[in-house]
Amino acid sequence: LLSRDGTCRARGEEAMRAAARTVLDGEVLALKGLGGYQLLVDAANASAVELLRQRKHREAKPFAVMFPSLESLQTCCLVSDAERKLLESPQAPIVLVRKRCDGALLAGPVAPDNPRLGVMLPYTPLHLVLMAELSRPVVCTSGNLSDEPMCIDNAEALARLGPIADHFLVHDRPIVRPIDDSVTRIGARGVELLRRARGYAPLPIRLGEKLPTVVALGGHLKCTAALSLHDQAIVSQHLGDLDSAEGAALLERTARDLLRFFDVKPAAVACDQHPNYTSTRIAERLASEWGVRLIRVQHHHAHAASVAAEHSLRGELLGLCWDGTGWGPDGTIWGGEALALSGSDYRRVARLRPFPLPGGDLAAKEPRRAALGLLLALSPSLARDRAGAWFTAGEARALIGMLERGFNTPLTSSAGRLFDAVSAIAGIRDRNSFEGQAAMELEFAAEGIEAEPYPLPLIDEGEILTADWRPMLEALLAEVESGVPAGIIGARFHETLARLVVSIARRAAVSRVALAGGCFQNERLAGSAMKGLAAAGFTVFAPRLLPANDGALSLGQILVAGRTLRA
């Protein structure tokens, strides 16, 4: 057991006892685990949890909890047989389960305003011994600052985690590469991966066709790297976001490691079409260094292609690709797309009606900005009247001025931003402290509520169908004015989008439909959409071996680039 300055405080069994005292005393323990460092605090101590949030710069995003045993876990959570089997499987992932209403053992700040909890059981001897000493649940989260890779080296951990942890429980076994805990849930389709890492990566994915050797670098968030080898793809563990220099370095190192490990040279490097992604710049440099072709793959094309790759699909496929953001070739921000895939090509079939985003990327952190842009696209006077609910008078004037002049206000067809806007308008959340928070809380508010959809017509605009959200928004605003509960509004909104999926599929007249993109991690949306599509006679495919989110982009890039080279 080391102190922050690297001084050895105890060894052997005494180190384990001292580490347990650190946690029981309300302090933060950094533990060197299987794939990197983890940060532990007493999950029943609200002050300790808040301390960890403050030091880790993680305001509200839920923490995972490790329990000493399945029996102790069941005192806090409802665990089905399928969830129990998953928790006790060799992969030993984090599993999202439902909290018990009477589960008072955990502190509120562990997973605030969330009906589910990410839970796991001890999966290494070190965890088993420590949890036996503690006999209580602990928050167990990645050993890093938010948005940075996990620490794997003792010296690195002391330097980077020194401001967070009070003591360090270390060993002398080296960790070659960071690999986080996988995150799973049991859904309508069985085990669903929300983060693919320890226990699952880098198991190969069978493609059902032989492809040239391609290395792909994914997107910007939830990044992974991938390599094609004959008729299979190797997708790396979850690497995280690329907002830091450490994250960028990890992506490049992982890509080089894949090639070195399998002793191959790529025929091409694949990346996102976004010109300013860190992964794009790394791909450009590697392609130049290796003297191979660079193939840029549109973001949502890669989303749909990842489902095709996972399910070994050939021929025409309709991809419903709904997420927060992706660079569109027309210069707008895509994210509510229906793409018809064939071979290595795609055709845009449908989209959500575009609306302006004041401040661009800032809207992902502030749903109130998406709400203001949506309202202004419906009625400028309405936007002015309602802006005061979210902004000061000065902020409102500046933002409305930006919108009217078109300054720093890109157009978007993003379903993710539409979720954000509706969450803000319904009074649920107008600012996010982590990605997707407003949309998640809108889903939670609607839980268990049956409702009829709002009107959302599909308009034929020649080569593309546009889902016109204006009638929906007018009806929704009227309900907000009349005091309809946010949960009912949320339920109607979810059913509206699920019906829209079916309407688009019918108009596109493609028999096979893939659901991809982070919005389809929403259980209610995905479940209702799949049920509606199946009832309408469509064959539906959705991610299982990989997440629906950007963690699957590298696999989709592999398929598109490989087919491009082979054509």
Q: Residue 546 pLDDT more than 90? A: yes
List, as own/partner pairs, every contact residues 287-294 make where C-beta atoms lie below 8 angstroms and the sequence separation is at least 24, other chains included: 290/265, 290/266, 292/265, 292/266, 292/267, 292/268, 293/267, 293/268, 293/269, 293/565, 294/268, 294/269, 294/270
The predicted pLDDT at position 105 comes to: 82
Is the pLDDT at 102 greater than 70? The verdict is: no
Cβ contacts of residue 197 below 8 Å, gap of 6+? 35, 179, 180, 181, 182, 237, 238
519: Cα separation from own chain's centroid: 9
Q: How confident is the model at residue 462 (pLDDT cuts 50, 70, 90)?
A: confident
Domains and CATH numbers, the chain: 2-184 (3.90.870.10), 205-314+550-566 (3.30.420.360), 325-341+351-541 (3.30.420.40)
- Give percent above pLDDT 90 in the chain: 97
Q: Report the pLDDT averaged over residues 223-234.
A: 97
Average pLDDT of the chain? 96
Of the candidates 382, 338, 384, 332, the one whose C-alpha atom is nearest the C-alpha of residue 355 is: 332
pLDDT of 341 > 60? The answer is yes
Residues with Cβ < 8 Å from 464, sequence gap 6 or more? 348, 349, 350, 351
- Take residue 275 and report the two structure tokens written for it: 């010109």
| Alpha carbons within 13 A on the beta-carbon side of 478 | 7
User: Does residue 310 carry a pLDDT above 80?
Assistant: yes
**pLDDT digits 0-9 by tens, 498-519:** 999 999 999 999 999 999 999 9
The whole-number pLDDT of residue 171 equals 94
3-state SS assignment for residue 344: coil
3-state class (DSSP) for residue 521: helix
pLDDT of residue 212: 98
* Nearest one of 328, 379, 332 to 360, comparing CA atoms: 332
Structure tokens belonging to residue 409: 């206000």
The residue-averaged pLDDT of 40-59 equals 96
Determine the pLDDT at residue 188: 81
- For residue range 473-496, list pLDDT tens digits in order: 999 999 999 999 999 999 999 999
From its phi and psi, is residue 54 left (phi > 0), alpha (psi between -120 and 50) or beta? alpha
> What is the full DSSP assignment across 400-464?
HHHHHHTTT--EE--HHHHHHHHHHHTTS-SS-SSTTHHHHHHHHHTTT---PPPP--EEE-SSS
Would you say residue 146 has pLDDT above 80?
no
For residues 174-185, average pLDDT: 96
> What does residue 61 show for φ and ψ, rounded to 5 degrees?
-60, 135
- Say if residue 103's pLDDT is above 60: no
Tokens at 545, concatenated: 């071996």
pLDDT for position 37? 98
- Provide mean pLDDT across the span 549-565: 98
Give the residue-averaged pLDDT of 199-203: 96
**Range in 83-92, 97-106, 534-543 with the lowest mean pLDDT:** 97-106
Task: Provide the 8-state DSSP code for 149.
Answer: P
Q: Give pLDDT, residue 148.
A: 84
For residue 101, pLDDT beyond 90 = no
Residue linked to tokens 């994915």: 205
Query: Of 144-158, 191-205, 470-484, where does mean pLDDT reach its minimum?
Result: 144-158
- Cβ-based neighbours of 39, under 8 Å, separated by 6 or more: 28, 29, 30, 31, 52, 56, 139, 140, 141, 142, 143, 161, 164, 165
pLDDT digits (tens, 9 = 90+) for 379-434: 999 999 999 999 999 999 999 999 999 999 999 999 999 999 999 999 999 999 99
Using the predicted structure, report yes or no on whether residue 444 has a pLDDT greater than 70.
yes
Residue 378 has pLDDT above 80, yes or no: yes
Tokens of 467: 């889902």
Annotate 23-89 with DSSP letters as a single string: HHTT--EEEE-SSSEEEEEETT-HHHHHHHHHHHT-SSPPPEEE-SSHHHHHTTEE--HHHHHHHTS
